[in-house]
Amino acid sequence: MKWEIPAKTFLLGEYAAVAESSAIILTTAPCFELTLIDSDQLIDIHPESPAGLWWRQKKHSDKGLSWHDPYKGQGGLGASSAQFLGSYLASCMLQRQTPDLNSMLKAYYQSSWSGTGLRPSGYDVIAQSQAGCVYINKQKKIVQSYNWPFADLSFLLLHTQMKLATHHHLQAATLPSQIEQLSAIADEAQQAFDRIDGQQLINAVNNYHQQLNDLNLVAQHSLEFINQLKAYPEVLAVKGCGAMGADVLLVITARNDIFALQEKLHAQKWTLLATEKNIFDYNKKALIANNL
């Protein structure tokens, strides 16, 4: 048995997610793959990772897991949470249990958090169990998937070639007091999806970056890259994604300009991870029903 689990990137909502407020997460292909195997091994899964800890705790003595990462270890795309989700789904199958978001989250917190610092939000693993562009507000028990509705806009996800371990960052981080402002901007972006209002989305992305920058929540290298990207006339909005915006940058451009922009970025040796054409199929059945 093999599970395909999409990569994830925060469109908006990093840090707000830790407070169980609003966020929108993009799920994209190519997918991670986790395979159930007939030997007691964890192949390319660290035994102390959330997936490794969960699997060993379940004591499936004659079964193991094999992992395939199409991104070859590039950070910021949800490899660790995808591994955990796959291991949870595999153990549910072996125990003939129906996967459930709340039990999955409980298991994820138990396996991923030592009790020191901020608890991981779990929004990444929620989104990766769904498809499309996933709006989450855990306080309000909302999980809603969208396609990319903006016919005149494209996005590009670029890798900075830097890597920040989110779990280590959260151990030392504190939540900013302006969480509700961040959450409100994520809600404005959700309204943009509902209204198919591209300009509202552009404003939300730029405002979110500005808020993160004001809160000193953007890594210096990402800030420098963002300022370089802003100089391209095709770039309508740009922000860092995830912890400190360190690993992945989101760029929004007009659909008509994407090829010209891609050529410029290629010439500058940028690593392109995905565009809106890589969104994980919105019409696919979710891995877990979206009931929080």
Output the pLDDT for position 197: 99
State the pLDDT at residue 127.
98
| Nearest in space to 55 (alpha carbons), one of 29, 74, 83, 19 | 83
pLDDT at 165: 59
What was the pLDDT predicted at 36?
93
Q: In the chain, where are the structural domains located?
A: 2-146, 153-278
Per-residue pLDDT reduced to its tens digit, 153-204: 999 999 999 866 555 555 656 777 788 999 999 999 999 999 999 999 999 9
Look at residue 196 in the predicted model and tell me its pLDDT.
Answer: 98
Mean pLDDT value across residues 22-34: 97
Q: What is the CATH T-level fold of the domain 2-146, as seen in this structure?
A: Ribosomal Protein S5; domain 2 (3.30.230)
Element (H, E) at 213: helix 198-214
pLDDT value at residue 164: 62
Model pTM score: 0.94
Mean pLDDT, rounded, of the chain: 92
Helix (H) or strand (E) holding 151: none
Please give the angle made by the CA atoms of 83, 86 and 90, to the nearest 5 degrees.
140
Angle formed by the axes of helices 50-58 and 101-112, nearest 10°: 110
Is residue 22's pLDDT more than 70? yes
Question: What confidence tens digit (pLDDT) does each residue in 169-180 have?
Answer: 556 567 777 889
Select the CATH number that applies to the domain covering 153-278 from these four: 3.30.70.890, 3.10.129.10, 2.60.40.1080, 3.50.50.60: 3.30.70.890
What pLDDT is stored for residue 152 in this prediction? 98
pLDDT bin (cut points 50, 70, 90) of residue 105 is: very high
3-state SS, residue 117: coil
More confident residue, 242 or 11: 11
CA torsion sign for 71, 202, 130, 256 is negative
Give me the helices (H) in 61-112, please: 79-94, 101-112
